Amino acid sequence: MKYNSNSLKQILNFLGMTIGCILAAFALEEFLIPNSILDGGVAGISIIIHKLSKINLGLLVFIINIPFVYIGYKNLGKTFLFKALYSITLFSILLEMFATSPALTGDPLLGMVYGGALLGIGVGLVIHSGGCVDGTESVAIVISKNTSFSVGQIVLMFNMIIFGTAGFIFGIDRALYSLLTYVITFKVIDFVSEGLTQAKEIMIISDNSEKLSSIIYERLGRTCTIIKGSGLISGKKDIIYVVLTRLELPELRRIINDEDKSAFVTVSDISEIIGNHIKSTEEKKKLKIRRKIKKTKK
């Protein structure tokens, strides 16, 4: 029964990624690109190069995403790599397929609104299913771990550079259309993926807090705070508190499912973070050394 349940969940995830890629590719090729309106991230970079060089857009999206996906794999694991490669490959193929179809509208305002909304729904479905069509966010996660900038701030900086470049090449009006499209897309993704806020606070009530905390640290690079609690019926319990990005939530779900199915987990949005909530690389190394020393002493 468990096997069937897990298999059905995986099928639904890949179905969600597939539908999401179709909608995202359709939005770009039928609404945005014909009106010289850019998306952010890798797609935006690819569109600029495509317009200037006539190299196939799908090929550009795939190639430019490779280094970003590799960085994401190093930090988010093999499951992320597999789903990201599936999503990006399918997305790239669909871009080429829709490129031969005539544009649905030549009105930039209509292109901006409907293209941005459809793109947001598509990307939201992909993210909700654990996939990824734009690797810049995985790089932003890595950068945020070692700086005071949040993932959202880093992604926004990337996109401001892209839209600024679009202003020089295609005109300031297209850059402004692209910026508004980005806002629409972002808001729709937020709605579809059930909370696109860059940080999530997780509370895990578990009898295996030490083990879970260690696995979360090893696989996601996030340190946990263990709070002592007491249940009315269950008695003394440990509560694990950890802050993650939304892209890391699928991996956390897998950890909980594999290690402690009886754990009680709540996920909440975080509107603001003050202080360095994510350990730097040096701090992580020191923590690993301290743990090894403790194990040796035992």
Compute how many other C-beta atoms are within 10 angstroms of the C-beta atom of residue 88: 26
| Sequence ranges of the domains in the chain | 2-192, 200-297
CATH architecture of the domain covering 200-297: 2-Layer Sandwich (3.30)
Does pTM top 0.85 for this prediction? no
Q: What is the DSSP string of the chain?
A: -HHHHHHHHHHHHHHHHHHHHHHHHHHIIIIIGGGT---SHHHHHHHHHHHHH---HHHHHHHHHHHHHHHHHHHH-HHHHHHHHHHHHHHHHHHHHHTTSPPS---HHHHHHHHHHHHHHHHHHHHHTT--S-THHHHHHHHHHTSS--HHHHHHHHHHHHHHHHHHHH-HHHHHHHHHHHHHHHHHHHHHTT---S-EEEEEEES-HHHHHHHHHHHH----EEEEEEETTTEEEEEEEEEE-GGGHHHHHHHHHHH-TT-EEEEEE-S---S--S--HHHHHHHHHHHHHHHHH-
Q: Which of 152, 131, 134, 130 is nearest to 143 (CA)?
A: 152
Contacts with 228 (C-beta within 8 Å, 6 or more apart), sequence order:
236, 238, 239
Tens digit of each residue's pLDDT, the chain (298 residues): 445 667 787 888 899 999 999 999 999 999 999 998 988 889 999 999 998 898 999 999 999 999 988 887 877 778 888 988 999 999 999 999 999 889 998 899 999 999 999 999 998 888 888 888 888 877 776 777 677 776 667 777 888 888 888 888 888 998 899 999 988 988 887 777 655 445 788 999 988 888 899 999 888 888 898 998 877 777 788 899 998 877 788 889 889 988 888 889 998 877 666 665 554 444 555 555 555 545 544 4
Predicted pLDDT at 283:
52
CA distance 222 to 275: 15
What separation in angstroms does the CA of 10 have from each of 79, 161, 210, 231?
11, 37, 29, 34
Predicted pLDDT at 117:
94
